[in-house]
Amino acid sequence: MIPKDNEEKPFSQVIVHSFFVVPFLIVVFCLLLFTAVRLLTSEQHSVYDFLDDIKTGGLTKRWQGAFELSRVLANPGLVPKEERFSSDLINAFEHAQYDDGRVRQYLALAMGRTRNPVFVKPLVDGLKNEKDENAAALIYALGMLGQKETAAALDPYLDHPQPRIRSIAAVALGNLTDPATIPALRKVLNDPEPNVRWGAAVSLARMGNADGKDVLLKMMDRGYLSRFPEVDAGEQNSLVLTAVEAAGGLKDSDLDNRLDELAQSDSNMTVRSAALRIRHGT
């Protein structure tokens, strides 16, 4: 009698092993290998390596290096403190003036993410003659830096012909939390572009000013937001949450009543939780 261990496997078992188990193991091995290589290469790349890519690489390598640099600097613990880094980053930014727009944009974003005021001057100087497609990134970066002295450079962009730039300028000015910007932000509460009105209302609220109350009430009204087909469900939730956070610090009865309604009946649990936390500290 043939030993049981040597019996032929059923055909179905062979098929399962050949077409499912083996390929699965191969895929797992490849994923592990890819992950290991990715980790090794990412560890070997310092911020100075990315800056070298920006300075000496081809077009694709330059903008990808700028992107990776901005991504790394999103982690405050990875932002270098030495003067060499800030000097090299400023130099790369200035030399990218006539480069592919993505290089300049990601470098501006990298500067903003450092929260280092040493980058205020190059960004303000660069903004004076910046192309419109890059200006939004520089304005956004200055907002992240949050230095009040940049208000004078940002104020004019509230009158820019492009709604996107006006909107980013309104948000950036709010990040400065400078009461001197309140009159300019009040004016754009009547801007024809909704995004500009929303940004101005939130910025004013962050400074304790309730002049944008009516706009905030609309931002917390899903019926109103549904009038904008370009605003999908995720963006709608983000807008409501932003308005909820802004309204919470104003202590206005109308806004508080709206927050109570959201806490009880909004369709999104995250929104309900945020409204409840702000109203009742839970």
Q: What domains does the chain contain, in order, with CATH numbers?
A: 49-145 (1.25.10.10)
Only one residue has tokens 């009880």, namely 264
pTM of this prediction? 0.80
Report whether 93 contacts 66 (CB < 8 A).
no
Task: Specify the amino acid at residue 111.
Answer: M
Joined together, the tokens standing for residue 47 give 């911020």
Q: What number of other Cβ atoms are within 10 A of residue 23's Cβ? A: 10
Please give the Cα distance from 65 to 99 (Å, whole number): 13
Question: How is residue 128 annotated by DSSP?
Answer: T
Please give the Cα distance from 220 to 223 (Å, whole number): 9
pLDDT (tens place) for every residue of the chain, 282 residues total? 434 444 444 434 434 444 444 445 555 555 565 555 454 444 458 899 999 999 999 999 999 999 999 999 999 999 999 999 999 999 999 999 999 999 999 999 999 999 999 999 999 999 998 988 999 999 999 999 999 999 999 999 999 999 999 999 999 999 999 999 999 999 999 999 999 999 999 999 999 999 999 999 999 999 999 999 999 999 999 999 999 999 998 989 999 999 999 999 999 999 999 999 998 876
Only one residue has tokens 């077009």, namely 59
Question: How is residue 10 annotated by DSSP?
Answer: P
Cα-based angle 116, 188, 163 (whole degrees, multiple of 5): 75
Between the CA of residue 84 and those of 51, 88, 145, 236, what are the distances in Å?
12, 6, 19, 43
Question: How is residue 155 annotated by DSSP?
Answer: G
Please give the Cα distance from 255 to 240 (Å, whole number): 12
Joined together, the tokens standing for residue 169 give 């300028």
Please give the Cα distance from 155 to 66 (Å, whole number): 28
